[in-house]
Each structure stands twice: as structure tokens, then as C-alpha cells.
Chains A and B, each alone.
Chain A
């Protein structure tokens, strides 16, 4: 520490300096707010106000044409006895609970293989990522075609192994499993996140494990997976939140104008039902209540995941393991 320059200190009287500093800080805050202004305005108009208004709407009957009619907690009461909400919620939870572990497992497997592929990894990485660039609507269309019961590719391949594939797109029991399998096609982004995490694992850990005679699987489960557990956790959380909001692919394949052939309760996911309530039946109040229930569900699930992660996820330099 150097002593403060005596000359400067005595040159400016303390009162003036204090005032000057305050003025500088105000100027600083002013310029900061200027730069933040787009977000501040956007937040007020498109986040804060919608949040407040959405709470209000959830307590009303509102069809856009007539003024909102206050009904208290009626929407929430109705929601919990609506069999379609229960159905949509069940579908969504089933989809998410089955899909997320499979999704993580497939991306982990691909990332582990890519990590050991040497120079050819780049080509494979590209191939695995491409489906992520396909519009979800097109993925929904592909699902209808590839999982077609009679001559779709998926059942044809199953046929080679003597398996008589089900009618994925029409049999209520197989619609969700089919959509889950199709969704595994778009694991590309997760693969890249995991691959980046894998490449950050220090080599020395593997060297010493080899000294102890650990093979590929032993190394994977004793070193690799714990070391990349923060990235795995990130993927689990993000995909769970996305899974609970599944919409595009299922809506394309099973809902919409003129769809009488496939209209199918098995693909009625929560956000699809919410969308129908809001924009097809114009039950804006009811849909708002549904949105808040979804929000609560996401919060609870994420909180549980964070609690579990405290025991499972390993952060370097942290003794908690």
C-alpha cells in the first residue's frame, strides 16, 4: 500500500471531493441505465406486466371479446377436476420421466465414443448435430412417416429381427414411446456440451487409473462420469424443463385443423392442451391458471433436482462429493 498523494488530497477540499464523487456515481448510474434501457423496458412490458396480468387473468373468465369476469379460484378448482388436465399432465410426466434419462444416456454414450474417436470425431460430430437444425415441425412429419405402422422404416428394421412392430402413430399405447424414440434423434447439442466437458478432464486421472489396471468401463464410471457430472446435471435440468413444455413435434403430428384421423389423447401434452384452451377455445383465464400450475410444477421439479444434485454432482475443489 502506498500513502495517498498528499498534494492531491490537500488540493481538493474534502466536501468538494465527496460531492464530485457522488456526481460521478450518478453519471455512472445514468449511463448504465441508458445501456440497460432496452432490457428494462422489455422487462416491464413483456415480463413484469404479463406476470401480474396473468395472475389476474387466472382468476377470471376471459374470452378476449368480453371483459374479464372475476371468478376467484374457480379456474384452479376446475383445473384439478378436469380429466383432460389430468390426462395431459400424465402424458407429459410420462414423456419427461422416460425421455430425459434415455436422452442423457444416449448423449453420454455418443460423447464417450466421440471422445475416443481421434481425428474422425469432427465428421461424426457434424452428423450427430444436424438433426438439431431440423425444424421441429419437420421432425413431427418425419415421425409420422418413419414410424408409420405398415411400411415405415422403423418397423421394417424391426421386421429384420423378426419383431412385428406396433402401429406407433395410431396405437395409443405406442404414441409416446414413438415420440420419445424420435426425440432421441435430436441429442446433438447435449452431445457437444458433454464432449466439451469430457475434453476438460485432466489426463493424469486416466494415467493413474491405468496404473491401477482400470479398463474402459471402470475408467468411465469412476473418473469420467463424476468429473463431468456438472455438465450432466445441466443437461438433465434443461431437458426436464424442455420436456415438460413439449409442443411442436406432437402438435404437428397429432393436432390442428382437419386432423380427424390421428386426433389422439395419447399425444395430448400439457402445453398443447394449454394452447388449445387459450387460442382455440378462447378460455384465456383457464389457460392462465394452467400456466401457473405448470410454472409451479417446473419450480418443484427443478428444486428437487438441485437438492439431489448436491449429493450426486461433483464440483472440483469441493469436498462435498
Chain B
């Protein structure tokens, strides 16, 4: 933050408190910039000018951001607001409904097995995120702690699978689940996660490599087994990275449409994205034009994700910035 200010200028916090004329500059002369004019009066005048310029610039940036934030927030607010509008008014652009009604929520609950879809989604999401976190952590630990021949090459294979487009393995994977008799159930939506996922193995291995090796050597001397090292030391120490993995997978599974389209047959088994799509087909394209119900169901499918975001905001942001810089 201080980067915006030329060196030697007061920071934001100090800008608020007016300094009496003639009072000593907040920074001791030793830290003053070599470019500062010799005479103190000229220096304060220049500083005041720079401060004013800085304030104007900061206000302009905040104004621009506010405008953009409005653009980004609008679709959300509109979506939520539309879910409270009666059928005929859904398409108006008002943010505050002219006629406020809870009716859509009652109706969509009756028109579609939303509670069931919500339950299915929750079940799949929790199972998928828990298993992928635990198994990816195990594999990551295998790569981070043990030294064995071929480790680098094997880890290279893990990284290479990250580049593979899903479309290439999609059809044979479907055939596997089909042969096992699981098509039409929720199993294919989460069970593959038991084997971990390359991206999370990468993420967690990076984190585990940073854990101090002395901890493990000390525990080893005390007679801890490999499993103890992993389960009782590495896992608890990796909590931040595990949280990131869990939240990422929650987001990915909660919003996944394609797998649900491929594997789910019966509307009772639908997850929310699949159910939402079926509502679009039935009430939108099906000629019934009940968009207020589709909008309301969208709100119901989105709100849990928003809650997850607010609860785990810090983890999500840290996880993303860590992943990006390393990539």
C-alpha cells in the first residue's frame, strides 16, 4: 500500500490527523529522502501537494472500482431479486420487486424435487471432497517424504495427467462405470476421487515439501511408524493446504454439469446443476416459460456456494494465489 506514495510521505493513517504548522515532520531527517528540498517550509508544501495528488488518485481508483463492482454485483442482485417477483415481472430490470412474493420458492419446491437434489448434491460433494483430500494427501506424502529411484519420473507422469483434456478419458471411463453397473447412480460422480487427483497431489506435495524434516526424524527416533508420521504429524501440519483442496473440490463438484449429464438417468438422482438444466428444458424451452421458477432454483443452487465462499474466503484466496504464482 505504501508503494503508491513517494518515499518520505506520510501514510494513509497519518493523512487523517492534521499536523499543526511548524510541527516536526513525522519522519526523522535521517530517513528523509535525498531529493527532499533543504528548507522545511518548501518540503511541507511539496509534501502537501503530493498528498493532495495522492488523495485524488486514490479517490479516482476507488470510484472506478466501485463502478466495476456494481457491474459485477448486478447479475447476482438481479437474480435474487427476480426470484421474489411474480411470473409477469421476472423480465423487468428492477432491482427491488414491484410486487414482492415468496410464491416462487413454494412453487419450485412443489414443481421439482429440490430437497432431494440438494441432498444428492450435498452427499456427492462431501464424499468427493473428503476422499479426494485424504487420498491426494497420502499420495502427496509418498512423493514428498520418501526418496526412491524413479520418483522424479513418476511425479512427471502425475503432472502430465493434469494436461490431459477430460474428453479423452470420458468415454472409456463411462464404459467402466457402465460395466460395473453404476450408470444411473451417484457413484461415478464421486468414487473416482478415492484415487486422488493430480492437481491436488501437486498442490499438497508442494506444501509438504516445506514441512521441516527434523520433526519427522525426531518422531522416527521415538519409534513412530511411517503411517504415524503421515497421520499424526504431516496431516495436522498441512491443515491450510488440506482446507484449500477441500474447498476447491467442493466448488468443482457442486457445480459439475457434464458428469451429471452422462451418468444420471432418473430425476430423483439429479444433482442441482443437472436438475437446474432439466428445469431450463422443461420450463424454458419446453414452451411453459416459467422463468421465475428457473431463476428461483438457480438462487437455491448458488447460495450454498456463496456461503462456502464467505466461510472459507481466506483459504480460497490464498490457495488460488499460491497455485497461480507457482504455475
Contacts and interface: CB of A to CB of B under 8 A. Distances in A.
Which residue of A194, A256, A262, A274 has the most chain B CB atoms within 10 A of its CB atom? A256
A271 B135 CA distance: 30
B284 A50 contact: no
Contact of B276 (A38, A137, A275): A137
A39 B302 CA distance: 32
Interface residues of B, number: 106
A314 interface: no
B257 A252 contact: yes
Q: SS class of chain A's interface: helix, strand, loop or mixed? A: helix
A261 B288 CA distance: 12
Interface stretch (A8-16, A77-85, A93-101, A121-129): A121-129
Contacts of A245: 165-167
B69 A124 contact: yes
Interface residues of A, number: 107
Contacts of A231: 324-325
Contact of A252 (B72, B164, B195, B277): B277
A172 interface: no
B207 to A, nearest CB: 16
A197 B313 contact: no
B314 to A, nearest CB: 10
Interface string A275-291: 10011000010011011
Given A38-B138, A42-B192, A131-B72, A284 B258 contact: no
Contact of B149 (A29, A136, A230, A260): A29
Given A53-B172, A144-B284, A136 B321 contact: no
Interface stretch (B18-26, B38-46, B110-118, B303-311): B303-311
Given A36-B143, A129-B317, A256 B285 contact: yes
Nearest to B284: A144
Nearest to B226: A31
Nearest to B138: A35
B130 interface: no
Contacts of A265: none
Interface string B121-161: 00000000000000100110111011111010010011001
Contacts of A235: 324
A148 B3 CA distance: 44
Contacts of B75: 131, 142, 146, 185
A43 interface: yes
Given A35-B146, A39-B158, A295-B165, A137 B301 contact: yes
B294 A141 contact: yes
A202 B84 CA distance: 49
A257 B145 CA distance: 51
A220 to B, nearest CB: 13
Interface string B261-278: 110000000001100111
Nearest to A25: B148
A132 to B, nearest CB: 8
Which residue of B64, B174, B230, B302 has the most chain A CB atoms within 10 A of its CB atom? B302
A274 B262 CA distance: 12
A134 interface: yes
Contacts of B301: 135, 137-138
Contacts of A110: 68
A113 B167 contact: no
13 contacts: A31-B226, A33-B142, A35-B141, A39-B158, A46-B195, A130-B72, A133-B302, A137-B301, A141-B294, A203-B3, A210-B6, A257-B285, A258-B287
Interface of A: 25, 28-29, 31-36, 38-39, 41-43, 45-47, 49-51, 53-54, 57, 64, 110, 113-114, 116-120, 123-131, 133-138, 140-142, 144-146, 148, 151-153, 156, 185, 189, 192-197, 200, 203, 206-207, 210-211, 216, 230-231, 234-235, 238, 241, 244-245, 247-248, 251-252, 256-262, 271, 274-275, 278-279, 284, 287-288, 290-292, 294-295, 298, 302
Interface of B: 1-4, 6-7, 12, 35, 57-58, 61-62, 64-66, 68-69, 72-76, 78-79, 82, 90-93, 135, 138-139, 141-143, 145-149, 151, 154, 157-158, 161, 163-176, 178, 192, 194-196, 201, 226, 230, 251, 254-255, 257-258, 261-262, 272-273, 276-278, 280-282, 284-287, 291, 294-295, 298, 301-302, 305-306, 308-309, 313, 316-317, 320-325, 327
